[in-house]
Amino acid sequence: MGQQEKVSTSLAGAVSEEISASLAAIDAELAHRYPGDPGTRQPVHTVYVPGDTFTSGTIRSWGDQALKALDEHAPDAASFAAVLGIPDELAAPVHDRVRAKLEREPVEDLRIDFEDGYGPRPDAEEDLAAARAARLVSEAYGNGTAAPYMGIRMKCMEAAVRDRGIRTTDIFLTGLMQAGGLPDGLVLTLPKVTYPEQVTAFVRLLEAFEQAHGLPSGRLGFEIQIETSQSILAADGTAAVARMIDAAQGRATGLHYGTFDYSACVGVSPAYQAGDHPAADHAKAVMQVAAAGTGVRVCDGSTNVLPVGPTHQVHEAWRLHYGLTRRALARAYYQGWDMHPGHLPTRYAAVYAFYREGLEQAAARLAAYVAKAGGDVMDEPATAKALSGYLLRGIDCGALDTAEVAGLTGLTRADLDAFASPRRGGLTAGPV
């Protein structure tokens, strides 16, 4: 047996205690500002439907229209894969899962729109539409036909439409309360935020509603829509979006990029307004860095090229949407907007191909990390967290099955949760 090493120190224990005491406020600040991902399910997309056209059958209608588009323009796995360039070995699994998803859960997140998609209306008309939206959402959650997440996008906090936005929010939330309470999947989206003070004002509105109904403080969260250049770079040169997250006082759940409003704001001509424009990449990168570690998710924008018309035209639109979605996923934007039922097949095809093609490698790396087996990649705890998050997102959207992930990794859902959200001790998936 070798000689035992002598361990010596030079500092008194008081030094460590003093340093810890000096950093106590910073420790608390880090825990408060950067709690990490909430460990809940993030939808792969958001669908916007104008407030006057949303009905109890909208979600099923979107699924049926998407299935009809597949039947007409790519009726089998081989033809669908050929259009999108999906590898042969993934053609059937992706195609079959896409069809099953469209039959079972065609929309993961739906926003009833009272902003750009609805436009200015007489007050009495919008009042009735907001009340109707509350009734339909409540009924959908009650009878099991709701999307996992649903809510409204009201008009913004700018002076011209502020009162209208406040009133629509009040009517919608009050209607939900009268119908039985706020559903777990409720989501609110505040558009066209330019100054952090507008976020503060919306927080004040939600606080007042909670107080009026005896709800717990913080029950109502919301997404912040990034549609102006000033929301990325403020007049003083700071990243305004970071200050907006702070102004939300823990209520912000997401940052949603508005492709066309933002592009127009910075002067991009209509023909080049797209999610892969350099201006879009810059804005989303700033959003991503500002949100990192805060628990606020980042959502990509949309394409306005609709898959309609003759088959060759639908195929072109599908290839564009599929490519943009895959590009976003590679850049860690796991959610985007879909503007038409015809976008659903390529949304799910891109998402499912992304997770299925990386399944075996991700599972092997995570299993090796757990077993400390080494391999040709030396992973660290942060990578294990990312690998678990990757597999969990795949399970949540239907790209992967819990059983097949368990078979490849030897890990349960609870194990994956613990790796993905270590600070939270492994929360299970649930509402945002």
Q: Is the distance from CB of 146 to CB of 182 less than 8 angstroms? A: no
**What is the per-residue pLDDT for 27?**
95
Which tens digits make up the pLDDT trace of 226-283? 999 999 999 999 999 999 999 999 999 999 999 999 999 999 999 999 999 999 999 9
**Rg of the Cα trace of the chain?**
23
**What is the per-residue pLDDT for 427?**
31
The residue ranges of every structural domain in the chain are 45-357, 360-424
Q: Residue 256: which residues within 8 A CB-CB, separation 6 or more?
A: 46, 189, 223, 224, 225, 226, 299, 301, 337
Q: How far apart are CA 59 and CA 121, in angstroms?
A: 24
Of 295, 228, 297, residue with least CA distance to 265: 228
**What is the per-residue pLDDT for 375?**
60
Strand 336-338 vs strand 45-50: parallel, antiparallel, or unpaired?
Answer: parallel
Q: Which residue has the tokens 């998609």?
A: 117
Which tens digits make up the pLDDT trace of 418-432? 888 765 433 333 333
Of 28, 101, 112, residue with least CA distance to 70: 101
**What is the per-residue pLDDT for 378?**
60
Q: How far apart are CA 274 and CA 263, in angstroms?
A: 8
Q: Which CATH superfamily is domain 45-357 in?
A: Phosphoenolpyruvate-binding domains (3.20.20.60)
